[in-house]
Amino acid sequence: MKIEQIELRRIELPFVTPFETSGWREVANHSLIVRLCAEGAEGWGEAPVGVGPWYNEETQSTAWAIAREYLAPMLLEGELHRPEDVDALYARVRGNRMARAGFEFAAWDLFGRLAGRSLSQMLGGTRERVAVGVSVGVQPDIESLLRVVAGYVAAGYRRVKLKIKPGWDIEPTRAVRERWPDLLLQVDANSIYSLDHAAHLAQLDAFNLLLIEQPLAHDDIIDHAKLQGRLKTPICLDESIVSSDHARWALELRACGIINIKPSRVGGLTAARRIHDMAAEAGVPVWCGGMLETGIGRAANVALASLPNFSLPGDISASERYFQRDVVRNPFTLNPDSTLSVPTAPGIGVVVDEAFLDSVTVERVTFTR
Ligand code: SMG
Ligand code: MG
């Protein structure tokens, strides 16, 4: 297959509430949206980059530049026989994995629509519904936190993740655990601690947490292995696992007991599935992380999470948790059992609301072969 046309957009879609982590605050989705056209069909993908280089090194501006100058021209010149070929085509591009993933997702969607197969089917998914939770940002005080968590619990979420940082870790976690003794609970530090905090972090062992996510540096594996030796709670790596090699290194060094897989962080679904398979082989559970995606990126995450070793609930909440209105006509809704249904229509299975997408598009460019 030769890609005939590529449309790139940068969007700005405000969140219903700002999202605060240990190091920064996001007020809107600033993704890059990719549309590929070939053989009378189209495919959509989302590169869920932030507005600044806070989660990883990519930003909406860097993704925009790399996509326009390199990724789009390379794809127009290349030829695809299957979606996995995008991964191979971009193998010589260093880093910039979220930008690459935006194109790779779109290729999976395009191939799926042409073949009449859902993305979950194509990937080898085995579930019709995927278990999900909600990620709760840093709050101004414990009273507000309990109110926010109570709202999500009432909405039906059975797993909650708390963002933590020094000064906002032990006490907020204790407060939520005391109020909801049976809630599936986990925490995420987004790389704010160092090994010097090992004894402090060990206090979290008292709260029966599923996991402690990415406590140490975003590019570290070695210190996480040392820290894991000093904690009972499993460490889960997020930022550190940017490729299947990084996953292999982390598994070999026993740096984590669990892996958060975000297909966007690792360059796409091909790499994500490889990590899933490797972790399954090692007996390490995985779960699907989130980057506050629109329905376009969320659909890819949901399909991926239908694979068998995604055995913990994902950060894949319903569309209304993020946006007043999503850019798809069939937004994701929470089932009463704290799951999202896996789309069964061909490709990613969502219908893009183009008029609304146009209204949140800040800049657009089209490439034709
Ligand atoms: O998509 O619900 C979501 C957000 C999940 O907490 C979440 N993501 O480190 O795992 C993480 C963060 C990164 C968010 S960057 C704004
Ligand atoms: Mg994380």
Condensed to tens digits (0 to 9), the pLDDT of residues 347-366 reads 999 999 999 999 999 999 99
Residues 84 and 139 in one domain: no
Residues 109 and 187 in one domain: no
Pocket test for ligand 1, best of 15, 17, 20, 21 (most atoms within 8 A of CB): 21
Number of Cβ within a 10 Å radius of residue 332:
24
Provide the mean pLDDT of the chain. 98
Any idea what the CATH number is for the domain that residue 81 is in?
3.30.390.10
Residues 229 and 96 in one domain: no
Residues 216 and 173 in one domain: yes
Residues 192 and 302 in one domain: yes
Condensed to tens digits (0 to 9), the pLDDT of residues 263-298 reads 999 999 999 999 999 999 999 999 999 999 999 999
Number of domains the chain contains? 2
Name the residue among 332, 334, 352 with its Cα closest to residue 343. 332
**Hey, which residues are catalytic here?**
163, 262
Residues 146 and 251 in one domain: yes
Per-residue pLDDT averaged across 7-11, rounded?
A: 98
Any idea what the CATH number is for the domain that residue 190 is in?
3.20.20.120
Distance CA 220, CA 267 (A): 19
Six token digits for residue 121: 């089917």
Report the share of the chain in percent with pLDDT over 90: 100
Residues 318 and 216 in one domain: yes
Name residues with Cβ closer than 5 Å to ligand 2, which is an ion.
Answer: 188, 213, 238
Please compute Rg for the chain using Cα positions: 20
Residues 238 and 314 in one domain: yes
Pocket test for ligand 1, best of 135, 185, 193, 293 (most atoms within 8 A of CB): 135
Residues 44 and 59 in one domain: yes
pTM recorded for the entire structure: 0.97
Residue 157 Cβ contacting ligand 1 at under 6 Å: no
Q: Which numbered ligand comes closest to the C-alpha of 211?
A: 2
- Structure confidence at residue 217 as a pLDDT band (50, 70, 90): very high
Which structural domain, as residue segments, surrounds residue 84? 5-116+350-368
Query: CB neighbours of 106 closer than 8 A, spacing ≥ 6?
Result: 34, 35, 36, 43, 44, 45
Per-residue pLDDT at 212: 98
Distance 190 CA to ligand 2 centre (A): 6
Distance 193 CA to ligand 2 centre (A): 13
